[in-house]
A and B are shown apart, each in its own frame.
Chain A
Amino acid sequence: MQTVQLESRRMHTLVFHVQNNHGVLQRITGIFSRRGLYLTQFYFNGRPNGLTEVQVSFEADERMREHIERQIEKLLDLVP
């Protein structure tokens, strides 16, 4: 059972920009923890209240990756 999951899962990295408002980091990590996913890498670089680059890596199947992307697109802090 586990093997099947591993085969359909692979590593993804998303790169995007957010405004560094209060709680933005928790909102991003919450998208993953809520769904029982682990982050394997995380990069966050910005100034208080300013434009911030985020890179997140995680393991998921295609369907979940798409779902995660849609959630990130809804962040009010996202700078599209």
Chain B
Amino acid sequence: MNGSQALIESMRAQGQKTLFGIPGGAVLPLYDALSQQSDVRHVFTRHEQGAVHAAQGFARASGQTGVCIGTSGPGATNLVTGIADAYMDSTNIIALMGQVPSQLLGKDAFQETDVFSMTLPLTKHSFKVMQASQFPSVVKSAYRIANTGRPGPVAIEMTKDALTAPVTEWGDRELALNYYVPSEPNQDKIRQAALMLLEAERPMMLAGGGVTIANAGAEFTALAEALMCFAATTITAKGVIPGDHPLCLGQLGMHGRQVTNHAIANCDVLLAVGTRFSDRITGRIESFAPHAKVIHVDIDPSEFNKNVDAFLAIAADAKPGLKELLRHVLAAQRSDRSKAWREKVKELDRQCSCDIARDEVPIRAERVIHELNRHLPENAIVCTEVGHHQMYATHFFKSRKPRHFITSAGAGTMGFGLPAAIGAKAAKPEQPVIDVGSEGSLVMVCQEMATAVTEKLPVSVCNLNNGWYAIVKQWQKLFYDGRYIASKLGDVPDWVKLTESFGGRALRVTRPSELGDAIKEAARSEELFLLDVITDSSDAGMPLVPPLGSNTEMALGQSCPTVERNYFGVR
């Protein structure tokens, strides 16, 4: 057995059945070993960025580790953006990066780049493997690191000679490292938190990506119901409480809903679970939840008091943390002190639920999301690109299940959606997967259509095509007096022809009435299928918090109500 075979055997032992990658000189021994086995499937992407985003989509749809491969030098540097993205969104992936033979390290050999060092600030941990016998224990340790505690990416740089040398002695003991050690949530703090929530007059809950990762959506929803407490969700928590649940207020922050931002700004107790309080969520930090005692539950204690001060910090995995809270809440006598607050929030929620079934031509982005809400089956996995369409989807799409809305949140990596959809399809072949995108982001990774076709991973794409980088355009309009530069894309490429040239099917949609049937067809398509939806670029229909502005001082969309400053009567 050589190093490459040991690497594959070690991954197989961890249950890995799928890898995404691209070969090259330094990793050819690994590919040769892959060719001689059938337990592990290799999905051949067309760019390493596609491979890493596919691994992310695979991991986020299934919870299982996503693995990607890039050769030394440019192959590995092309992985780096996705590794950074996975680090921001705490995604459990392992990046296998080729390296020149160890005797050439530091000699500026062909395709030598110090990718090990490049990944250090972007991973939970990076390994440098220079001996074949290291693979079993390094791989075992890498899986443990990627998947325990707060998940995240792990990089393994492998010299070519490590991949080819024989493994004389098999040793797969985990390396002695400072691994995450699970701990039970502190019972005194849990009791205190439950009491605070029960006695609150204006309680709010907030779920972050940690609730998704911990598969704690049911517990989160049950707690909201037990407390009769409204809940906000960040972009990575969409679906942990169903989007159409009466207690779900949905998105908060810069592109959030007015009701959600106002409710958070006026609540007296905020239970925040598995969130790092990103600047896109908090807006100007001084005006974020200024009246609230914050109960912060997170698996990563370094998140406490980083952005928002916690009144009560509970270090725990979201699932046991929420379970314990629920147990205490259910056991307690409750007096329902928040009835008046609930009525006020409910009324504002009603006012902020505008009609998005708009009939204009060109089609409004809201209308596309409205039709997706109506016609996508409940088990459809929605991935998104990055841009305006992503914010529309976050704002208006009603995700009904966790892990069914996959998007580049923290890093905002354009080009994420299509490869992530391909990865999600590899993980969940029985479920329809649709990339809600738009052309500016999509064109950065459109070569991955070849992957979808040749690897028989039929995803659909709903391309909200408006000819602009619409967020850049919006910011240039609002904050730079309409001096547009480098934001107009025009009407190239022809997305129907492009898709067809890759061997997929495509349909151009120009009228709102055509959307329903087109989306139904996309959801049941068994080949790559793209809807080129010609949409309006003229303005934003959503409220927007200006950068570093306060969440309650939003620039309003056309149909947004004006919320009185003292609507909740809180001083």
Q: How far is the CA of A70 from the CA of B276 in the complex (A)?
A: 14
Segment with Cβ contacts to A, from B36-44, B301-309, B533-541: B301-309
If A77-B177, A78-B178 touch, whether A23 touches B302 (CB-CB below 8 Å) is no
The residue that B116 contacts in the complex, of A22, A34, A67, A79, with Cβ under 8 A, is A22
Q: How far is the CA of A22 from the CA of B178 in the complex (A)?
A: 15
What is the chain A residue whose CB lies nearest that of B150?
A74
- Whether a CB of chain B sits under 8 angstroms from the CB of A76 is yes
The residue that A23 contacts in the complex, of B128, B176, B177, with Cβ under 8 A, is B128
- How many pairs, one residue from A and one from B, have CB atoms within 8 Å of each other in the complex? 44
If A66-B305, A70-B302 touch, whether A79 touches B128 (CB-CB below 8 Å) is no
The residue that B177 contacts in the complex, of A19, A26, A27, A73, with Cβ under 8 A, is A19
Do A76 and B145 touch across chains, with their CB atoms under 8 A apart? yes
What is the chain A residue whose CB lies nearest that of B157?
A22
Q: What is the size, in residues, of chain B's interface with A at 8 Å between Cβ atoms? A: 20
If A23-B116, A30-B120 touch, whether A74 touches B302 (CB-CB below 8 Å) is yes
- Whether a CB of chain A sits under 8 angstroms from the CB of B125 is yes
Do B178 and A76 touch across chains, with their CB atoms under 8 A apart? yes
| Whole-angstrom distance between the Cβ of A75 and the nearest chain B Cβ | 6
A-contact 0/1 string along B120-155, CB 8 Å cutoff: 110011111000000000000000010000000000
- Whether a CB of chain A sits under 8 angstroms from the CB of B484 is no
Residues on B with C-beta less than 8 A from A75 are 178
Do B120 and A23 touch across chains, with their CB atoms under 8 A apart? yes
What is the chain B residue whose CB lies nearest that of A71?
B302
In chain B, positions 66-84 with a C-beta closer than 8 Å to chain A are: none
What is the chain A residue whose CB lies nearest that of B300?
A74
| Whole-angstrom distance between the Cβ of A37 and the nearest chain B Cβ | 14
What is the chain B residue whose CB lies nearest that of A66?
B305
Residues on B with C-beta less than 8 A from A70 are 301-302, 304
Do A27 and B120 touch across chains, with their CB atoms under 8 A apart? yes
Residues on A with C-beta less than 8 A from B170 are none
Do A77 and B178 touch across chains, with their CB atoms under 8 A apart? yes
In chain A, positions 16-40 with a C-beta closer than 8 Å to chain B are: 19, 22-23, 26-27, 30, 34
If A22-B116, A30-B120 touch, whether A79 touches B302 (CB-CB below 8 Å) is no
Interface core residue of A23, A66, A67, A80 (most chain B CB under 10 Å): A23
| Whole-angstrom distance between the Cβ of A48 and the nearest chain B Cβ | 13
Do A76 and B124 touch across chains, with their CB atoms under 8 A apart? yes
The residue that A76 contacts in the complex, of B125, B128, B300, with Cβ under 8 A, is B125
Do B116 and A73 touch across chains, with their CB atoms under 8 A apart? no
What is the chain A residue whose CB lies nearest that of B181?
A80
9 A-B pairs with the lowest CB-CB distances in the bound complex, closest first: A70-B302, A78-B178, A22-B128, A76-B177, A76-B125, A30-B121, A23-B120, A26-B120, A76-B178
User: What are 29 of the A-B contact pairs (CB < 8 Å)?
Assistant: A19-B176, A22-B126, A22-B128, A23-B116, A23-B120, A23-B126, A23-B128, A27-B120, A27-B121, A30-B121, A66-B305, A67-B302, A67-B305, A67-B306, A70-B302, A70-B304, A71-B302, A73-B302, A74-B300, A74-B302, A75-B178, A76-B125, A76-B145, A76-B177, A76-B178, A77-B177, A77-B178, A79-B178, A80-B178
Where the two chains meet, the residues of B that have a C-beta atom closer than 8 Å to any C-beta of A are: 116-117, 120-121, 124-128, 145, 176-179, 300-302, 304-306
Question: Given known contacts A76-B125, A76-B178, what 7 new A-B pairs fall within 8 Å (CB)?
Answer: A22-B126, A22-B127, A23-B120, A27-B121, A67-B305, A70-B302, A76-B179
